[in-house]
Structure 1
Amino acid sequence: MDKRKPVVCILGPTGAGKTATSLGMAKRFPARILNFDSRQVYKDFPIITAQPSPEERAVCPHELYGFMPTTGIITVADFIEFAHEKIEQSVDELPILVGGTGLYLKALTSGLAPIPDIPDEIRARVRKRAEEEGSAALFEELQRVDPEYAKCTHPNNKQRNSRAIEVYEGTGKNFTWWHNREVPPSPYRFLKIGIKVNLDDLTPLLNRRIDQMIAAGAIDEARRAWDICPDESAPGWTGIGCSELLAFIKGDIDIDEAKLLWAKNTRAYAKRQLTWFNREKDIHWFSPDEPSQIVEFAAAWLAKSDVEG
């Protein structure tokens, strides 16, 4: 009998309706919603990163949203530690993981390879390269040495690209090799529910959401964040939407250019997310207009888990 704690995961590309799906499930079961989106951890960008609103958070406890300063760095290992802690706190609640950072979810569900500590001199050298040559140069190298991992990052993501290159230089093996190593089984049972939207259908929804974010105060939010952290190299500023609005605030581009770039980068990110999740074989896919079917599917899985457990 499998007596591991059940955990439901709601995943999919940005803008697909994961938050609404999770809230529908939380209205059926006593639940605790846990974020696994690497951008929604930053507290200074609740609008730009589409974090749940106060009204949405009132439905049930929400964890791991908006707790990190713009200067903060959260590694995959950090995320696993935080997620395990919150899952263990969900004694009488169903943990529902919601997000789109595939690497976080894979590490949590499949385990994290024990990557050795990287020598300080290698880390310093790679970080210096990132500052002098730019994150895009590291990304180009990453595409050569680890094309699989390059699919889940972005040329502007200095934190991830630097970490991947330093691991490769420090161990002689790339991230994909480490992530594919055998690790101990997870102490939890996972049901993965994917919200799938065709990219062409998703694109106008993403464009409309950008307009809605700007109407909700995204530009003022970015200005306040810049007052708090006027360092564009800080990890929080590398997020899509944040970097484009920062370019507008600094006068490098006008607002229309910022919106076009934001939309382009968001679509590219959604495409990478779909590519990542489409490689996984244990996801049960639904469209966003099937909320009742999703809840009933999860209820049946939980009932079966109770019987088997």
Structure 2
Amino acid sequence: MMLNFVLNVEANYIMTKYLISIVGPTAIGKTALSIQLAQYFNTEIISADSRQFFKEMQIGTAAPTPEELAAAPHHFIHHKSIETDYNVGAFERDAIEQLEKLFKKHDVVVMVGGSGLYVDAVTKGLDDFPDLDPKIRETLNNTLETEGLLALQTQLKQLDPQSFQSIAIDNPHRVIRALEVSIGTGKPYASFLNQKKNKRPFKTISIGLTADREIVYDRINRRVDIMMENGLLEEAKKLLPKQHLNALNTVGYKELFKYFNGNWTLDFAVSEIKKNSRRFAKRQFTWFKKNENILWFDYTTPLETIVNDISKLIEKQ
């Protein structure tokens, strides 16, 4: 089957480079599939998971194990410290530079990650925003800390009702970003979106893994239990002195910080990790479902079926 696949598409992708982007909710099996495809195409993997970048956060981000990292070359895994101010714009720049290098020796590269904004940054490019006064974000972060997310949501609803209706309103990072742009420019955040972007020198084939909601939620619950067994509590405790850092405002850590700070019991903190992980999975589905070009597969689909469908997509292009 592999020989036929190569013969069918060889003429097509000698001139064209392909990025296979694997997306889907947390705990669905993206890492395993990315390794299978990387091995099949004898290529390398770029991670677009915004929390797996940080070397101090291994257990709680479900980063690839040492065995998985050894199974195929990976990039952007544990390459930054939580002390580093690393954002989606920096990732876009670094990822495109890395892809330029990888495409010199591979016709196909695999990218995997459930962080929708980071995936889009590579495949589509980011919207162009003007430079903003950093004091605006400082003020908004202070408001979040002292008055809570609801105060920011109320402010956004007043200043930019369109964004209030369209963004992930329960995500403080998204709310702060929309407010920052609205306050700093005097224009709605949405007015800067969907502008013409630079064309990528590769074609993207987007693959999504899915399952019934009950299955996804069960996999999430079991993953959290495994994380706790593997030492998530100890990992979070070591990071407690740095809990103020933005990178640690992450499901799995922020809940345990409340346990360490005496606000919650451990059992309740773990139940909140599961609940917030399920909510995150729902947001991931919502984000990726907007992309009509994603080819969706049940998480149990055999590799051969996925590769055959990739072949058909390449042959059409």
Q: TM-score, normalised by structure 1?
A: 0.88
Contact 1:69 1:236 in 2 (8 A): no
Distance 2:166 2:16 in 1: 30
Query: Which residue matches 1:288?
Result: 299
In the alignment, structure 1 residue 241 sits paired with structure 2 residue 255? no
Distance 1:154 1:299, change over 3 A: same
Deviation at 1:136, TM superposition (A): 4.7
Distance 2:310 2:113 in 1: 17
Q: Secondary structure at the match of 1:9?
A: strand
**Which of these residues, 264, 268, 271, is aligned with residue 257 of structure 1?**
268
**Which of these residues, 175, 180, 183, is aligned with residue 197 of structure 2?**
183
Fraction of identical pairs, as percent: 32
Distance 1:174 1:82 in 2: 29
Q: For residues 45-56 of structure 1, what are the structure 2 equivalents within 5 Å? A: 45-56=57-68
Contact 2:48 2:112 in 1 (8 A): yes
Contact 2:167 2:174 in 1 (8 A): no
Q: Secondary structure at the match of 1:28?
A: helix
Distance 2:33 2:260 in 1: 34
Q: For residues 26-45 of structure 1, what are the structure 2 equivalents within 5 Å? A: 26-45=38-57
**Which of these residues, 212, 219, 228, is aligned with residue 198 of structure 1?**
212
Q: Secondary structure at the match of 2:44?
A: strand
Query: For residue 79 of structure 1, what is the amino acid of its counterpart?
Result: F
Q: For residues 1-309 of structure 1, what are the structure 2 equivalents within 5 Å? A: 3-90=15-102, 91-93=104-106, 94-142=108-156, 145=160, 146-147=163-164, 150-151=167-168, 154-155=170-171, 157=172, 159-226=173-240, 230-292=241-303, 293-302=305-314, 304=315
Q: Secondary structure at the match of 2:111?
A: strand
Deviation at 1:280, TM superposition (A): 1.1
Deviation at 1:199, TM superposition (A): 1.9
Unaligned runs of 5+ in 2: 1-11
Contact 1:122 1:166 in 2 (8 A): yes
Distance 1:52 1:265 in 2: 21
Post-superposition Cα deviations, 1:225-245, rounded to whole Å, max 9, x if no partner, equal 23xxx1322112111111112
Aligned-pair Cα RMSD in Å:
2.3
Query: Which residue matches 2:6?
Result: none
Distance 1:75 1:160, change over 3 A: farther
Distance 1:69 1:191, change over 3 A: same
Q: TM-score, normalised by structure 2?
A: 0.86
Query: For residue 198 of structure 1, what is the amino acid of its counterpart?
Result: D
Query: For residue 114 of structure 1, what is the amino acid of its counterpart?
Result: D
Larger radius of gyration, structure 1 or 2?
2
Q: Secondary structure at the match of 2:239?
A: helix
Q: Secondary structure at the match of 2:26?
A: coil
Contact 1:36 1:98 in 2 (8 A): yes
Distance 1:19 1:121 in 2: 38
Distance 1:238 1:147 in 2: 22
Distance 2:181 2:17 in 1: 33
Post-superposition Cα deviations, 1:58-115, rounded to whole Å, max 9, x if no partner, equal 0111111122222333222111112102211213233211011111222322222221
